[in-house]
Amino acid sequence: MDADELRRALESADLTKYEAEAYLTLIEYGQLAAVDVSSKSSIPTSQVYETLRSLEEQGFVETIERDRLHAEPKEPSEILAQLRTHGELLTAAADELEDRWEEPELDDHRVSVVKQPETVYKHVRSRLEDATVSADLTVSFDQLKLLLPELEAAADRDVFIRIHLYDEPDLHEKATSLGLADSNLNIRVGTIPGPFIAIIDRNSLFFAPNSRADEDYGILMNDNILSFITHWYFLSCQWHVWEPLFGSGRHWTEYDSLEEFMRDIVPLFDDGAEIQLTVRGNYIDSREECREQGELVEAFYPTRYIGSGSELSLEDLSSYATIYIDTGEEVLSVGSWGAVYEDIEAHRITITDIQFPYGTH
């Protein structure tokens, strides 16, 4: 740093131009008469005495009365502390400006574009800490590692987690070393690389492109409709068609998607199984949270009675899907995400018992 830069730094620490210049002159030459401070700097003689007195009052120099006024610099602890304080303040201000530029607050129904994917991951981690219902993600292994503490903590709070993990060499070995073989996260593996996506509690949506994109950016959204559309992309392209990371024989008893539940369970119901359920969600009319238990007594979707076959597809369930449960006191209709006409919008469906005509399973 040259002398001019150092002088500007001292000025940023609340010294005047003349004070900064006088102090640097005394640091360089030691004790000097006031007139010599003036001659070795650009400070006018008429200003040098006032400048030195001011520096003395601030604790930066000591003046000595002889035949002429002399001054000598004090140990620079005061000004060092002042510079460091200003440095910390300016650094903090710079960080805050950067945060405000790159990380806008995610207000209701706001779509924000950010410059770096890392900003998206930061918001996802924060949002996972507050999640209460569900989280659907498509991630690379490195992205999963980054989010794993928050994902596992959310799963421990009974948040329903589904993860589409992009395949890569030695994935099973890497996942095993990370402890995912014993995790309660639901993970499936896909071989086609794609973007980073996170849908949290059906309203918060986060997106970042993959490494093949022309430029880095990210999108933060609080919007139920956009989240719903992306949820269907997740179900159809990144969940149903892929196999679990560890084994393929898992028996599902819990669902956060009515369509997924119906695809698996309605064929069993049609074969005569008696199925007991617990449905968690909210009542459509009051929007209050609810938890209802009952027996599955009917299921409806548009192609149900026109010979669509015994196996259900997402296409069968994409436009309208409803189940009915008998609680013992009443029959309630249960709809999926965005339900309008049913009694309940389902957030979680748990199978508590299945009785088959030929035995109990």
Nearest-angstrom CA–CA distance, 28 and 134: 66
Pairing between β-strand 186-190 and β-strand 160-166 as defined by DSSP bridges: parallel
Query: Tokens 């700097």 belong to which residue?
Result: 41
Q: State yes or no: pLDDT of 7 exceeds 60.
A: yes
Q: Residue 74 pairs with which residues in a beta bridge?
A: none
- pLDDT confidence of residue 338: 82
For residues 291-319, give the mean pLDDT.
Answer: 77
Q: Which of 21-25, 191-195, 312-316 has the lowest mean pLDDT?
A: 312-316
Q: Mean pLDDT across the stretch 112-132?
A: 90
β-bridge mates for residue 206, sequence order: 198, 220
Residue 101: burial class (beta carbons within 10 Å; 0-12, 13-18, 19+): exposed
pLDDT of residue 101: 46
Q: What's the full length of the chain, in residues?
A: 361
pLDDT surpasses 70 at 107: no
Flag whether pLDDT at 96 surpasses 70.
Answer: no
Query: Can you list the domains of the chain with their CATH numbers?
Result: 3-78 (1.10.10.10), 109-244 (3.30.870.10), 254-355 (2.30.30.690)
Residue 181 scores a pLDDT above 80: yes
Structure-token pair, residue 240: 């149903």
Q: Tens digits of per-residue pLDDT, 279-299?
A: 999 999 998 999 999 999 999
Q: What is the mean pLDDT of residues 202-212?
A: 86
Answer yes or no: pTM beyond 0.75.
no
Helix (H) / strand (E) containing 283? strand 274-283
**φ and ψ at 354, to 5 degrees?**
-130, 125
The angle at the Cα of 180, spanning 217 to 133, to the nearest 5 degrees, equals 65
Name the DSSP class of 180: G
Output the pLDDT for position 249: 43
- Nearest in space to 14 (alpha carbons), one of 81, 106, 67, 86: 86
Pairing of strands 218-222, 204-208: antiparallel
* Cα(72)–Cα(62) distance, integer angstroms: 6
Which residues 6+ apart lie within 8 Å of 333 measured at CB?
322, 323, 324, 341, 342, 343, 344
CA of 169: how far to CAs of 140, 181, 205, 242, in Å?
12, 17, 29, 17
Beta strand pairing call for 254-255 and 344-356: antiparallel
